[in-house]
Amino acid sequence: MQSDTHDDPVQVAYRRDGRRVFATLVRLLGDFDLAEDALQNAFAAAAERWPQDGMPANPVAWLVSAGRFRAIDQIRRQRRAAPWSEVDEKAESLPDPAPLPEDRDVLEDDRLRLIFTCCHPSLSEQAAVALTLREICGLSTEAVASACLVAPATLAQRIVRAKTKIRDARIPYEVPDAPDLPARLGQVLRVVYLVFNEGYSAAQGTDVLRPDLTAEAIRLARLLLELLPEPEVRSLLALMVLQDSRRAARTDGAGDLVPLDAQDRALWDTAAIAEGRALARDALGSGRAGSYSLQAAIAACHAVAPAPEATDWAAIAGFYDALLSIEPSPVVALNRAVAVGMRDGPEAGLPLVDALLQGGLDQYHLAHAAKADLLRRAGRGAEARASYAAALALTRQEPERRFLARRMADLDR
């Protein structure tokens, strides 16, 4: 396919509808690899026919039937070459030519089926992230490998293993029924948020070829919200949009992390903040607030504060209380302790952080860093230094190490 003309209708259709067509082909052919081949063949056919015959009225339906037709053709040819193989069975089991998939709902369901299959809870989260980026977002294997910071061969193997499991363990290509939906959707959202965090915490600007995973995750959440307008989907989108609104202020010229209270708030993206707040408000107002709704509400509190001193820590601590009650995890408790320390003063936060350190977070660098910050604010410099050193000893990430070292050096000033 040519790539020089970006308004070539085949190219446009590939970018806009490629994954949609793929999702339907997976259902019709019952196999990811067969569907991928069929997709490529369908677009090759389009590149040949569309310039002559003109654009079909319904390009998606045209591409689906072209892909399906070529896949069946391919299976038949294989059957002739290897009459004893299981190919026979495969061709027999293909569904009859379905009515042309003009029904929008059926197509949209296929996209949801693809999402729920790639994020099936029986797949490891690592495998689900790789599959999601490859099959739903349509990134190349090389791009996904670079995004996940692994060798392309490792990533390719991870994807092959996941597809083999889908096929051999027979993970069904379906949208879960109502009773299973909340848990299954929770897993999908976890995978989307993992993709986002993978992009959010990665070293910034070192590799221009590295795909922007935060943008992919936000795009995924928008698609999911369109297909499944649930409050938690809306909330996760709000949370990511709000976190991403601080992108320009999160790192300085040297690529070092800038903490929230030191960020230049003029660099925050006001349009993104407005969108994120509106989404968060809608979700909270639905009366079915879950974990992401509360996290989005907290992010919104930070986003609207014109200065760090103006942050509504009482509201934030309240949201953390609620979050802790539905998601009792030590990390949530740590964030709550920090918020309490901001609301009631460092001496109020310290015993909470100490209890968490003793209760199993002693290997978690952010717990030591939180304690160090509280001690610093309480004017207990020597103790703060020891805690920064403990945090530093536990983290491998370079920007984070530089940040902690800087905070430690600031104690001397």
Partner 1 sequence: MKYLCLVYLDRENWSACPDPVCADYAKHLAETGTLVAGEALHPVDTATTVRVRNGQAQLYDGPFAETKELLAGFYLIEASDLNEAIRVAGKIPPARYGSVEVRPIRQLQLDG
DSSP class per residue in 22-42: HHHHHHHHS-HHHHHHHHHHH
User: How far apart are CB 198 and partner 1 at their closest, in Å?
Assistant: 27
Query: By CB under 8 A, which span of 163-171, 245-253, 256-264, 376-384 interacts with partner 1?
Result: 163-171
Q: What is the DSSP letter of 198?
A: H
Alpha-carbon span 162 to 317, nearest angstrom: 41
Distance between CA atoms of residues 203 and 256, nearest Å: 9
Kindly identify the residues of this chain, within the stretch 50-109, that bind partner 1 according to CB under 8 A.
Answer: 84-85
Q: Amino acid identity of 230?
A: E
Of 84 and 104, CB closest to partner 1? 84
Near partner 1 in 310-339, by CB under 8 A: none
Minimum CB separation of residue 296 from partner 1 in Å reads 30
Q: How far is the CB of 169 from partner 1 (least distance, A)?
A: 5
Cα-based distances in Å from 364 to 358, 367, 369, 370, 371: 11, 6, 9, 10, 11
Report if residue 355 touches partner 1, rule: CB under 8 A. no
Q: Cβ of residue 109: shortest distance to partner 1, in angstroms?
A: 16
- Could you say which residues in the range 104-133 bind partner 1, by CB under 8 A? 120, 122
Read out DSSP for 241-253? Answer: HHHHTTHHHHB-T
| Residues linked to residue 251 through DSSP beta bridges, in sequence order | 257
Least spacing, CB of residue 122 vs partner 1, in Å: 6
Q: Is 357 helix (H, G, I), strand (E, B) or coil?
A: helix
- Are 232 and 283 within 8 A, CB to CB? yes
Query: Which candidate, 107, 102, 103, 108, places its Cα nearest to that of 229?
Result: 108
**What is the Cα–Cα distance from 387 to 376, expressed in whole angstroms?**
10
Cβ atoms 110, 24 nearer than 8 A? yes
**What's the min distance (Å) between Cβ of 174 and partner 1?**
8
Residue 183 beta carbon to partner 1: minimum distance, rounded to whole angstroms: 11
Contact with partner 1 (CB under 8 A): which of 4, 92, 105, 168?
168
Task: Find all residues with CB under 8 Å of 266, minimum gap 6, and list them.
Answer: none
CB of 85 to partner 1, least distance (A): 8
Nearer residue to partner 1 within complex by CB, 85 or 325: 85
Segment lying near partner 1 (by CB under 8 A), choices 139-147, 169-177, 327-335, 378-386: 169-177
Residue 178 within binding range of partner 1, rule CB under 8 A = no
Q: Candidates 144-152, 164-172, 308-316, 380-388: pick the segment binding partner 1 (CB under 8 A).
A: 164-172
Q: CA dist 247 to 30, 211, 269, 294, 340, Å?
A: 41, 15, 8, 21, 26
Find the binder of partner 1 among 106, 169, 203, 274 (CB under 8 A).
169
Joined tokens for residue 199: 């992009």
Q: How many residues bind partner 1 (CB under 8 A)?
A: 12
Q: How far apart are CA 10 and CA 17, in angstroms?
A: 10
Per CB under 8 A, does 309 bind partner 1?
no
- In angstroms, what is the minimal distance from the CB of 133 to partner 1? 22
User: Is there binding between residue 176 and partner 1 (CB under 8 A)?
Assistant: yes
Across-strand partners of 257?
251
The mark string for 185-214 relative to partner 1 (x by CB under 8 A, - otherwise) is ------------------------------
Q: Among 172, 182, 259, 345, which residue interacts with partner 1 (rule: CB under 8 A)? A: 172
Do residues 370 and 332 touch, judged by C-beta distance below 8 A?
no
Stretch that binds partner 1, among 63-71, 165-173, 220-228, 384-392 (CB under 8 A): 165-173
Give the footprint of partner 1 on this chain (CB under 8 A): 84-85, 120, 122, 168-172, 174, 176, 180
